[in-house]
Amino acid sequence: MERSVGGTEYSWCRTVASGTGITVLTILLSRPPEPAALEKALRRIQSRHPLLRARLQWGDRGPCLSLSPEPYLSVEVVDSSETSVVLRSSDAGDPFHALLEHELNRNSWRETRIETPAELFFATVYRLPDSRAVVALRLHTGICDRASAVSILRNVLQSYGAEAAGGTAAGDREGQNGNEEAGEVPGAIEEMVPQEKGRKPFWAHGVDLLGYSVGSLRFSNLQFRDTTSTRASRVVRLQMDRDETDRILKACKERGGMTPSVALAAAAMKAANFSKEEPRPQVESYAVVTFIDCRTILDPPLQLDHVGFYHSAILNTLRVNSQEEVWDTAERYFNALTNSMRCNKHFTDMGDLTFLMCKAIDHPPATPCSSLRTSFLGVFESPIIDDDDGDKWRQEIGVEDYAGCTSVHGVGPSMAFFDTIRGGRLDCTCVYPWPLHSREQIEQLVLNMKSLLLANI
């Protein structure tokens, strides 16, 4: 069973080859997992979600997804001495942080055209010198958006926890999840766009493509540090305590019910403007790409845990005044995003944005300093809410921390935010291309963001 990739999936095939679009989930455990039990749990998850056991290959009509009838995943185990070699080569400081960055830069899909079928799902266990371990799951973003990653993470914790305890998790007893079928390759998002919401006249496509292209020449960016060296993805985490998170959520609610990601984006734009050397520009235009999970509004609608790439994107350009308060900037961005969604731009502009992304890969000089930066920021419309800190399976297997994000060092934004509200605390993983931007530069930007958000609430 196979099918050709959809337009969005094809764009990820192009971007992953360039370095952007490697999705990684890392789990820090207080003790090493049993590899055989973990592999059995992961294969059980593969069997329930067809795309997780698909392979990518090129046929006469271009790339296609070929469904393997049986789960194929094998767990790679890296002993503590080999892990130490990886850790010594990193400047991240924290081992969990260092291994997350290491996995973001392991590219199994480096070639644009894959001649032999390529697996899309990998699992590695890193044994740490202090007897703890990190489980890393690495996936091709063409089959795994953020919602899929969250679903996979929860399934892994439950399935492996049950396997380690000698039982069966609830999800395993239920068999198939949502409306995925074991013997079918799920359709691409383009096939499920509601007809009445996806219509766009031919000339409108041309006008919008021209507008996006010309408009990009006016975009402001975070200052580049090194535009010539080989790039990799690096990570900085923005974390807040319960009180700080409550204050931000309250401020969002008071301003029309905006999501924390809107506030984070506004703070990032203000902080970027603030970081410019004197004389600081009074007004700058920043491009923000907002990713929207479309599962519930497709035709037919999909379950929230349906695995695949079913996000669309909206590109908004915001003029940021250095004298304006950050929450006023957030309100303007929220209004612009709401209006774009009301006009169904997340459906009508889907093909335009994927086309422009592929053109940027083909013509790097069309981007600022050939940086392949297509926007300043990438955010998600809504955060992930995780209140399962007391989940028995997490306690059973000794989960201490986890993180999930996607690489950005090929084509894409200067920063991508993956925000979660975990146990009432905001935890945002910020991914950026290094050394295009330095770690010190992004760490300072994140500190300024936090100060701006908490200053007047």
What is the per-residue DSSP string for 170-218? HHHHH-S-TT--TTSPPPPGGGGS-HHHH---HHHHHHHHHHHHHHHTT
pLDDT for res 174: 44
**Cα 285 from Cα 273, distance rounded (Å):** 10
What domains lie within the chain, and their CATH numbers?
2-187 (3.30.559.10), 191-398+405-455 (3.30.559.30)
User: What number of residues does the chain have?
Assistant: 457
The residue type of 251 is A
Please compute Rg for the chain using Cα positions.
Answer: 21
Token pair recorded at residue 218: 């006016």
pTM > 0.75:
yes
Q: Contact 113/16 with Cβ under 8 angstroms?
A: no
Q: What is the largest CA-CA distance in the chain?
A: 65
The amino acid at 117: P
Which pLDDT belongs to residue 299?
A: 93
For residues 382 and 116, give the distance between their C-alpha atoms in angstroms, rounded to a whole number. Answer: 38
- DSSP characters over 263-275: HHHHHHHHHHHHH
| Residue 248 CA neighbour count, 13 Å, CB half | 28
Which of 281, 264, 272, 258 lies closest to 454 in space, CA to CA? Answer: 264
Decide: 380 and 146 in contact? Cβ < 8 Å. yes
C-alpha distance from residue 76 to each of 121, 127, 134, 210 (Å)? 12, 11, 12, 47
In this structure, are residues 51 and 307 in contact, taking their beta carbons and an 8 Å threshold?
yes
> What is each CA distance from 334 to 23, 203, 220, 341, 354, in whole angstroms?
27, 28, 20, 11, 23
- In DSSP terms, which residues pair with 415 in a beta bridge? 377
423-435 per-residue burial string, b: 16 or more CB within 10 A, e: under 16: ebbbbbbbbbbbb
Looking at residue 178, its pLDDT comes to 47
DSSP E strand stretches across 5-120? 20-29, 54-59, 62-67, 75-78, 118-119
pLDDT tens track, the chain, 457 positions: 788 899 999 999 999 999 999 999 999 999 999 999 999 999 999 999 999 999 998 877 788 998 888 899 999 999 999 999 999 999 888 999 999 999 999 999 988 777 788 999 999 999 999 999 999 999 999 999 999 999 999 999 989 988 777 755 555 544 444 456 655 677 899 999 998 887 766 555 554 555 555 555 577 889 999 999 999 999 999 999 999 999 999 999 999 899 999 999 999 999 998 887 666 667 889 999 999 999 999 999 999 989 999 999 999 999 998 889 999 999 999 999 999 999 999 998 888 888 888 889 999 998 999 999 999 999 999 989 987 655 677 788 899 999 999 999 999 999 999 999 998 999 999 999 999 999 999 999 999 999 999 997 8
**Distance of alpha carbon 410 from alpha carbon 233, whole angstroms:** 9
- Report the distance separating Cα 370 and Cα 146, nearest Å: 28
Residue 244 vs residues 152, 271, 400: alpha-carbon distances, Å: 29, 18, 22
Cα–Cα distance between 139 and 113 in angstroms, integer?
18
Q: Is 7 helix (H, G, I), strand (E, B) or coil?
A: helix
Place of tokens 């703890």: 132
Q: What is the DSSP letter of 360?
A: H
| Residue 224: predicted pLDDT | 94
CA geometry: angle 299, 300, 303, nearest 5 deg: 120
Query: What pLDDT, on the 0 to 100 scale, is given for residue 164?
Result: 74
